[in-house]
Amino acid sequence: MLRKGKINRDILLSLFIISCGVMMAIGRFHDERLELFGINFSIILSSIFIILFFSTVILIKSLKINLNKILLYIFYCILIISNLVLWSIYGVTDYGLEKFINLVLIPLPISFVIIEKFRIRDRDFMIKVLLWISILLFVLTLINLSTLSSTRTGVLGGGPIVLSRWLCFGAVVVLFHPKIKRFKVIYMILFLFAALFTGSRGPILSFFLVMILYFFLNFRKVFFKVFALSLFVVLILSVTGVFEQLSQYKTVSRVFMNVQEGGLRKSTGRSYLFESSAKEVISYPLGVGSGNFVEYTDRSDFFKNKNLYYPHNLFFEIATEFGIISLLFFLIYLLHSTYLSFKINLLNKFQTGNMMFYTFVFLFLNSMISGDLNDARLLFVFIPLMLVKEIE
């Protein structure tokens, strides 16, 4: 018979994992857009998350220290301390305050519980919860398709970049999930179809880069399958005229670089952002504080007019706002985690190895070309998640 303590542990962790999924989906501790009938549901959900977090922490009887944990804790400590100091020098913006609070109160506590308490089954359940969130957002995307086809927006209060990231995350997981055997390619195509209507190129580009990587790493095994599938898709698009029909929608056309307006019109916004970020790192190597990138860049007015308030690259964002020391420790932590994940998941040939590896690659690539620090919360949580093994 199962011990009562073990049952309580499993129930409590399951509830915590569900609350983690909810907070990851919302992405904010307080969101005024989730107010209904005068009640702000984000505050209620955040309170439940905090209660479950501290209840789960009680289950941790002892802390086992290893190099990866030390690197994670050092990174967050340096990031928090340096940001508070930089704010006292360069000032605080509403956007910077919100971003910093959400980082400290959502990915950090989730990561702490993962590295200290999670087992394999807890990790698998969390993947399942995150996948169900992607499915929910997929359904809501289809319901709001008429609006999304003409205007770049999101659902449930989230923006188009986050929505597309969740949908493409679902596409990667269903494609590589070891327990999803049938119709996985169809599920993947459905997720990608919905992602097109967000108008966000970054997540879709990251997905196809993952597919290219998978193709080269498994060339002999998948060449004929990939060739046949690619030929089939090209034939369908050319015969049915689906590409031309989809390109008539503004958001879809944006993904295809505005084909309906006469060709591949490429935005220069990203190149300006990266160039300005590099200059800002040179001018302020210790950072300028969370949310202050646009305040101290050499193209401040240009970016503000285009509503570009962050570098759209995780490395540049950490370097410009929190300093190169924070970036250095994050890179060390990231490389060490990647090395450990390779040993745990791929060398041991775990069933979930491919799914964990390619999902991590997708989230990492996406953070290099799209979104801000808060949008990268899936990556911050997934790094410790892919290192979970049986510890009890």
Residue 391 lies in a domain: no
Residue 296 lies in a domain: yes
**244-299 pLDDT per residue, tens:** 666 666 677 677 665 455 444 555 667 788 888 899 999 999 999 999 988 888 77
Average pLDDT over residues 9-22: 91
Name which residue leads in pLDDT, 35 or 295: 295
- What pLDDT score was predicted for residue 353? 78
What is the domain range of residue 282? 4-385
Q: Which residues does 157 contact at the CB level (< 8 Å), separation at least 6?
A: 26, 31, 33, 34
The domain tally of the chain equals 1
What are the CA-CA distances from residue 82 to residues 289, 318, 373 (Å)? Answer: 8, 11, 16
Residue 12 lies in a domain: yes
Per-range mean pLDDT, top range of 169-173, 186-190, 195-199, 341-345: 169-173
Residue 146 lies in a domain: yes
- What pLDDT score was predicted for residue 3? 56
Residue 392 lies in a domain: no
With pLDDT > 70 as the criterion, what percentage of the chain qualifies?
81
N-to-C CA span, the chain = 18
Checking if the pLDDT of 318 tops 90, the result is yes
User: Does pTM top 0.85 for this prediction?
Assistant: yes
Lowest mean pLDDT among 191-205, 342-356, 361-375: 342-356
Residue 138 lies in a domain: yes
**274-283 pLDDT per residue, tens:** 888 899 999 9
Residue 111 lies in a domain: yes
Residue 154 lies in a domain: yes
SS3 at position 40: strand
Average pLDDT over residues 34-55: 85
2 confidence band (pLDDT: 50, 70, 90): very low
- What pLDDT score was predicted for residue 59? 82
Give dist(CA 315, CA 313) in Å, integer.
6
